[in-house]
Amino acid sequence: MNTTSEVTAATRRSIGFIGLGHMGGPMAANLVAAGYTVTGFDVVPAALEAAHAAGVVVAASAGEAATGADVVITMLPAGKHVFAAYDGDGPGGGLLAAAKPGSLFLECSTIAVEDARIAHEMVLATRHRGLDAPVSGGVVGAEAGSLTFMVGGSADDFADAAEIFEVMGKRIVHCGGPGAGQAAKVCNNMILGVSMIAVSEAFVLGEKLGLTHQALFDVAANASGQCWSLTANCPVPGPVPASPANRDYQPGFAGALMAKDLGLAVEALNATGVQASMGRAAEEIYRNFAQEGGSGTDFSAIINTIRAASD
């Protein structure tokens, strides 16, 4: 939590925020609540309305949101959207052209590692500064200001951005140079996807063997099977009341996003030549899951696909 003196200092630093959806909207709202002046833009009118209600100054274009800003934050679906926002020639121009010299760009989208490195080069080429800083924690973390930021870029820029990250998150890790934040994100989410499939398969097996969900949870949560997919996002209702399984698998972290992130992981596997049979299998499973109706449900709903295939 910022002290009074920190909040006063924050008001002298303006922020342009591009992408005010389920993640970006709450992140921008937390910055406003901490005393920052935030000017935002999104292509979805409802997102702009919600941001305005939270105190964000609404701009007519991305370029307008970046004009005069000390810090520019992007939270967009994919690398191509980041490139278009940075270098676009639409109304208001691109962010790089609109921002004042030396602005700090915080690229918080989840994109390919190579795309993050290209975006960083674009920022430097236009005499700005930049960090790739994807997040973990989902919508709940964005709303609570408890996200984890995985950051790539220079140590000086990381230190300069620290007070901003600390408003939106509770754990901020400097992972290395440009692209390192995205590298950490794809590795982490490959673990997450594989572990959720394993946990779901174990619960379905337990059902077939006559175990109650609670009995299996009580054992695995306190033994070597313990993991976040079990103890925080348990795929069956009951043992973890806050898990999406208790809300008919409303996300949370949507199946479409897990499919996307595992696709980025496979892209990185192919680029590096790493042999990773579990990561590739998880990508195929979640790609099919998203294509067959699971895209809008929490990724833990994969248990229903496993259960249906086990009858």
Could you confirm whether 208 is annotated as catalytic? no
- Between CA 6 and CA 1 the distance in angstroms is 9
Contact between residue 135 and residue 141 where contact means Cβ atoms under 8 Å apart: yes
Burial of 309 (0-12, 13-18, 19+ CB in 10 A): exposed
The residue from 170, 185, 208, 260 that is catalytic is: 185
Please, what sign has the CA dihedral across residues 61, 53, 248, 251? Answer: positive
* Phi, psi angles (nearest 5°) of residue 203: -65, -40
Cis peptide before 252 (omega within 30 of 0): yes
Contact between residue 6 and residue 163 where contact means Cβ atoms under 8 Å apart: yes
Active site residues: 185
